[in-house]
């Protein structure tokens, strides 16, 4: 409880209502202001003499970063005080703290994946806004409706602003249980550090244990550079291989071996059937002592120079590309043209992921699995055709997935899919002149008009050649 403040007191027009739980670096009050309906919280940093300088740095960072963030995954910034009277007022997030779920761990894997995907989407959203959180942990995540809301940006990094934390801190800064290995080495420019912390959260939710314990000192933090965690399935046999694959990929020591973006991680969490399983999926033991010793030696000897790319370029290099393939197209040349366009989109983006989509148009929604005339599920045939099509697109198997969807409204289905999976770029064919094609052409026109991302429209000309028209929607 902070001294000298009581309910009813007014600070710069904000009336203190009730004190909330105090953190180590700040006290929190519910506040109201005449004319404002938004539920609000005031954060008052504890700036006492001899206090950890990080308290004031964290306050400064949050004052810089929070006003620049918007959207459903962050509290809305309302106001900040001045030098004499420091405070920040922001939206009070009503929801369930992820921390409160920890008592119920291990959670069923569907819940783990659903929560994980929500957090991954929230991370992708702030990453797109130039911010890396760098202190992701359950107490900084609030689940509100369909969204995860991230709070406490005091250790965060905005890649277009000075990094006050880096400049003031004597050593690595973070939370022992969740901090990424590169952060332990002082690196604060990689958005994939947040994916590591999310991996720790997923591990905890799935097993009820923290993969690296809760070391309090930096020596303890460093161990994760060479000691790999116990595989989740060794602690909880109910964890499926696909979930273990995802978790251990997030916990890779080298960020290059993790997911390229939070959106790509969310994609796997939402499509367990499409997770590319590697040796990680089935391991039941930690690495042997020789491997660990070798890693220790390697990390002690060389510190790799990391590329210091701008945050947005990490995301730009690793888009999710969706190819909408119409398998009923009357000539092969359209699909060749689509493959050509996709190859061109992927050529400069080595970390791109490709989702090949075909929508099976149905007359009405039905709960029964329907079959074609010969009694086979048409999905299977279409998957085979999609895979055949994709042979013309050189993408490593772990970067490509195939989806046959069914809908009475193919255009709406494609747009929903793109939105739901944070697709960055859609490649879709436009069709020619026949009556049927005019009808189908409406699909691509609607995708171009309504898609939440860039769309490349591939159009056949009358001759053999084709051209593409690119449209961009903000």
Residues at the interface with another protein (CB under 8 A):
53, 56-57, 59-60, 63-64, 82-83, 86, 160-162, 164, 167-168
Residue carrying the six token digits 């591990």? 203
Residue carrying the six token digits 């359209």? 334
Nearer to another protein, 63 or 142 (CB): 63
- Asked if residue 81 lies in contact with residue 29, where contact means CB atoms within 8 angstroms, the answer is no
Nearer to another protein, 20 or 56 (CB): 56
CB of 310 to another protein, least distance (A): 9
- Asked if residue 112 lies in contact with residue 208, where contact means CB atoms within 8 angstroms, the answer is no
Task: Give 51-119 as a 3 state SS string.
Answer: CCHHHHHHHHHHHHHHHHCCCCCCCCEEEECCCCCCCEEEECCCCEEHHHHHHHCCCCHHHHHHHHHHH
- Asked if residue 172 lies in contact with residue 183, where contact means CB atoms within 8 angstroms, the answer is yes
Q: Which of 185, 195, 75 shows the shortest CA–CA distance to 134?
A: 195
CB of 61 to another protein, least distance (A): 9
CB of 186 to another protein, least distance (A): 14
Cβ neighbours for 279, distance < 8 A, ≥ 6 positions apart: none
Distance between CA 437 and CA 443 in Å, rounded? 10
Nearer to another protein, 312 or 468 (CB): 312
CB of 58 to another protein, least distance (A): 11
Tokens of 71: 């959207």
Residue 362: CB atoms within 10 A of its CB come to: 14
CB of 187 to another protein, least distance (A): 16
Nearer to another protein, 60 or 450 (CB): 60
Nearer to another protein, 161 or 380 (CB): 161
CB of 268 to another protein, least distance (A): 32
Distance between CA 460 and CA 465 in Å, rounded? 7
Nearer to another protein, 63 or 281 (CB): 63
Nearer to another protein, 45 or 176 (CB): 45
**Pairing relation of β-strands 320-324 and 353-361?**
parallel
Q: How far is CA 400 from CA 317, 361, 450, in A?
A: 16, 23, 24
- Asked if residue 112 lies in contact with residue 202, where contact means CB atoms within 8 angstroms, the answer is yes
Nearer to another protein, 88 or 275 (CB): 88
Q: Which of 70, 111, 87, 68 shows the shortest CA–CA distance to 11?
A: 87
Residues in the chain: 474
Cβ neighbours for 49, distance < 8 A, ≥ 6 positions apart: none
Nearer to another protein, 90 or 457 (CB): 90
Q: Which of 257, 136, 133, 258 shows the shortest CA–CA distance to 197?
A: 136
Q: Identify the three-state secondary structure at position 39.
A: strand
Nearer to another protein, 72 or 86 (CB): 86
Element (H, E) at 356: strand 353-361
Nearer to another protein, 53 or 108 (CB): 53
Tokens of 469: 């028209």
CB of 311 to another protein, least distance (A): 11
CB of 54 to another protein, least distance (A): 10
CB of 77 to another protein, least distance (A): 12
CB of 83 to another protein, least distance (A): 4
CB of 49 to another protein, least distance (A): 11
Element (H, E) at 444: helix 435-450
**Pairing relation of β-strands 147-150 and 353-361?**
unpaired
């Amino acid at each position: 409880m902070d001294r000298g403040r009581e309910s009813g007191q007014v600070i710069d027009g904000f009336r203190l209502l009730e004190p909330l739980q105090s953190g180590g670096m700040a006290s929190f009050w519910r506040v109201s202001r005449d004319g404002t309906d938004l539920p609000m919280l005031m954060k008052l940093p504890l700036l006492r003499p001899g206090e950890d300088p990080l308290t004031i740095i964290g306050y400064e960072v949050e004052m810089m970063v929070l006003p620049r963030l918007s959207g459903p995954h962050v509290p809305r910034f309302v106001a900040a005080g001045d030098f004499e009277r420091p405070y920040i007022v922001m939206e009070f997030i009503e929801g369930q703290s992820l921390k409160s779920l920890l008592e119920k761990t291990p959670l069923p894997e569907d819940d783990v994946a659903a929560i994980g995907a929500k957090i991954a989407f929230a991370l992708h959203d702030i990453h797109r806004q130039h911010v890396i959180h760098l202190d992701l942990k359950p107490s900084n995540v609030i689940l509100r409706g369909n969204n995860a809301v991230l709070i406490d940006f005091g250790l965060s990094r905005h890649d277009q602003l000075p990094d006050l934390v880096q400049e003031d801190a004597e050593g690595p800064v973070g939370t022992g249980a969740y901090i990424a290995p590169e952060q332990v080495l002082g690196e604060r420019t990689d958005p994939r550090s947040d994916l590591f912390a999310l991996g720790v959260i997923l591990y905890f939710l799935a097993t009820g244990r923290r993969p690296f314990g809760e070391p309090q000192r930096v020596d303890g933090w460093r161990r994760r550079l060479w000691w790999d965690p116990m595989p989740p399935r060794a602690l909880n046999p109910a964890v499926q291989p696909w979930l273990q694959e995802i978790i251990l990929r997030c916990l890779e020591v080298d960020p290059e071996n993790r997911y390229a973006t939070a959106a790509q991680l969310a994609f796997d969490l939402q499509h367990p059937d499409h997770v590319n399983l590697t040796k990680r999926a089935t391991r039941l033991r930690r690495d042997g002592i020789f491997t660990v010793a070798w890693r220790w030696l390697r990390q002690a000897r060389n510190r790799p120079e990391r590329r210091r790319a701008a945050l947005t370029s990490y995301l730009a290099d690793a888009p999710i590309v969706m190819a909408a393939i119409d398998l009923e197209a009357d000539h092969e040349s359209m699909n060749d043209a689509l493959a050509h366009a996709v190859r061109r989109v992927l050529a400069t983006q080595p970390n791109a992921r490709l989702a090949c989509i075909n929508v099976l148009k149905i007359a009405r929604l039905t709960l029964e699995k329907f079959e074609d005339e010969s009694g086979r599920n048409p999905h299977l045939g279409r998957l085979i055709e999609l895979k055949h099509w994709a042979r013309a697109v050189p993408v490593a198997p772990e970067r490509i997935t195939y989806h046959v969807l069914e809908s009475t409204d193919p255009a709406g289905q494609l747009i929903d899919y793109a939105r739901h999976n944070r697709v960055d770029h859609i490649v879709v064919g436009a069709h020619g002149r026949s009556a049927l094609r005019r009808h189908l052409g409406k699909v691509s026109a609607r995708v171009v008009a309504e898609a939440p991302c860039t769309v490349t429209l591939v159009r056949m000309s009358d001759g053999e050649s084709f051209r593409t028209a690119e449209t961009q929607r903000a």
